[in-house]
Amino acid sequence: MMALPNQLHADRSLVFGCGIADSKDSETGRIWTLHIPPPRDVKGPPSDAKSLKGRNDQNLDTPNIYQGEFIRNEPGDTLRIRFEGYIHRNAFKPKTPDKRIATKIKNFLNRMQQKGGLKVIARLMFTNLVTLLWLRKNNETFLLKRKLIFETNYFKHEFTLPDWQEGNISLEQVTASSPQAVNDCIEFIETRLYQCNIDRWFRVTAEIYTGHQMNIYPSQLMAVKPKTDSSNSKEKEGRLFLKGIDKETRCRNIPLFDERQILYALYTFDTWYAEGNNLDHINNNPSGFNYDKYKHFRDYQKGNCIFNYLEKLSKFTLRLRSIDDPEKIPGEMLYTATCLIRGGVFGDK
């Protein structure tokens, strides 16, 4: 029997702030604060997704006008993004008055940890982090001198991505500053997901070489206001940055990278929603919703969503006893554990 929505939920395991953007000079290392200038008009039809995503900014064939925010990387030539946060064991602390359900969740996650399932998930999350999937359009456009620094109170490691490599990048293609760097980072993420009384803080610093005066793209999903009945109405909202406050001027004009979009990218490694090889990676969420295709890949009627699997936790825990290789853990179990780690409400179909 499933719990009601207000009975079963979990807090997020990954908690961090928005990414702060700076302009850095690659030769001197000097850093400047970036500011968002007033929006400018961009021509393009409402249905033209390319206009909204920055691939067709000056479509002169139509009179429709969008208002978008653009930041030019100057005076530096490198975009630097920084954010810091904490990794908690909140998946092991489900919030429900039904102790039987809480016990089933804890037993399942404990067995997953013992069998190496949490390490598999930590590796997938770290891969999306270090390959800059969360930088979205910037990582698609600028493919030179890309690197990431992962820092904790125990270590500080640097990773360099291959130049001109488009599409998905595997962890094996990333160059690390030391032989143990990848294992250190994965172990840090994994252990914080289940251990008590341990330092949980981390900081991420990413850099992408853009060149001087190149446009920087926001990480948010694009939003377009619907037209009104007014004859003078125009489509206005197109490409927007989340804004932070400048410490010196107190003005809200510092470009931020939304932590929700960073989280979304880190959890986008679900390839277990269907049978077959080389499936597209979709986000791990209860209904398997994919923004790019605007489609649900998981459904209770199909028997492949989180609500189906929560009803099978005891069977999952029992099946895990006979598994001796983390790579052999079934996808539905990895998906279920990831959803619990991500957090949210899990009490209704």
Q: What is the pLDDT of residues 292-314, one digit of tens each?
A: 777 889 998 889 999 999 999 99
pLDDT, tens only, 226-283? 444 444 444 444 567 889 999 989 999 999 998 988 999 999 999 999 888 888 999 9
Beta strands 156-160; 144-151: pairing state: antiparallel
pLDDT at 88 (0 to 100): 97
How does DSSP classify residue 226?
P
In sequence order, which residues have a C-beta less than 8 Å from that of residue 50 and are 6 or more positions away? 44, 56, 59
Beta bridge pairs of residue 235: none
> Block means of pLDDT (10 residues each) for the chain, length 349 residues?
64 94 95 88 53 45 63 94 97 91 96 98 98 92 96 98 92 96 98 97 98 84 47 51 90 92 94 88 90 85 91 95 95 96 78
**CB-count burial class (<10 Å; 0-12, 13-18, 19+) for 315:** exposed
Residue 237: predicted pLDDT: 47
